[in-house]
Amino acid sequence: MSDKEQIFEGLVRSYHGDLYRYALFLSKDEHIAQDVVQEVYVRAWKNIHKLKEVGAVKSWLFTILIRENARRFSRKAVKLVDIDDVLDLSSSSNNEDDLQRHQLQNAILQLEEDYREPILLQVIGGFSTNEISDILQLNDNTVSTRLYRARKQLKQQWNQDCQRGRENG
């Protein structure tokens, strides 16, 4: 096995779970997430010689994933569906954790993209502010500000949801 193959195999083993979780969160579809991750591997294989720092491999892979996900939208029109057709909370499980997870996920998805991407990279990807700034090609202060504002908006949304729950329940 060549050095390139060994390095690539190590990348796949080390980061597959993180890449798949992030792709799944972005796409909401297991098959699309698998396809996006496979495209990440194809691009990583073709460009592994460009990787200069082994320590930056995780952010490099996530950068590829973000770009692959964006390409997905440029290749085809997104099918829009009515949220009420897809989500019927009255028939869902009564599991409080599932409901809270769903509310948080919806709140994150409602954030503007400038705020959504950094918070997802931090929460799902486990990246530091410096790593996020490298991935998104922004300065550290901008990333810190966007993370702060994203958390603030999520907290406000959460408080509003809790207030509505108390009023309705």
Whole-angstrom distance, CA of residue 39 vs CA of residue 45: 10
11/40 same-domain check: yes
92/157 same-domain check: yes
Runs of H (alpha helix) within the chain: 3-27, 30-47, 57-75, 83-86, 96-110, 113-123, 129-136, 140-168
Question: Has residue 6 got a pLDDT over 60?
Answer: yes
88/74 same-domain check: no
Domain boundary residue, one of 45, 78, 111: 78
- Token reading at 54: 């082994």
pLDDT: is 7 or 92 the higher one? 7
Question: Has residue 142 got a pLDDT over 80?
Answer: yes
- Which residues does 5 contact at the CB level (< 8 Å), separation at least 6? none
- For position 42, which CATH number holds? 1.10.1740.10
The total number of structural domains that make up the chain: 2
C-alpha pair distances (Å), 53 with each of 47, 49, 56, 57, 139: 13, 11, 5, 7, 20
| pLDDT, tens digit (0-9, with 9 covering 90-100), for 7-58 | 778 878 889 999 999 999 888 889 999 999 999 999 988 888 777 777 778 8
103/67 same-domain check: no
Question: Has residue 86 got a pLDDT over 50?
Answer: no
27/104 same-domain check: no
109/137 same-domain check: yes
pLDDT of residue 165: 67
Domain boundary residue, one of 78, 109, 141: 78
Whole-angstrom distance, CA of residue 155 vs CA of residue 7: 41
73/86 same-domain check: no
Domain boundary residue, one of 51, 78, 105: 78
- Name the DSSP letter for residue 76: S
Average pLDDT value for the chain: 80
| pLDDT, tens digit (0-9, with 9 covering 90-100), for 96-125 | 767 777 777 778 888 888 998 898 888 888
Weakest mean pLDDT among 36-40, 69-73, 91-95: 91-95
pLDDT of residue 158: 79
Tell me the whole-structure pTM to 2 decimals: 0.58
38/67 same-domain check: yes
Is residue 150 within 8 Å of residue 115, measured between CB atoms?
yes
pLDDT of residue 30: 92
Whole-angstrom distance, CA of residue 103 vs CA of residue 143: 24
Is residue 121 within 8 Å of residue 135, measured between CB atoms?
yes
47/118 same-domain check: no
42/124 same-domain check: no
Q: Which domain holds residue 38?
A: 1-78
pLDDT of residue 84: 47
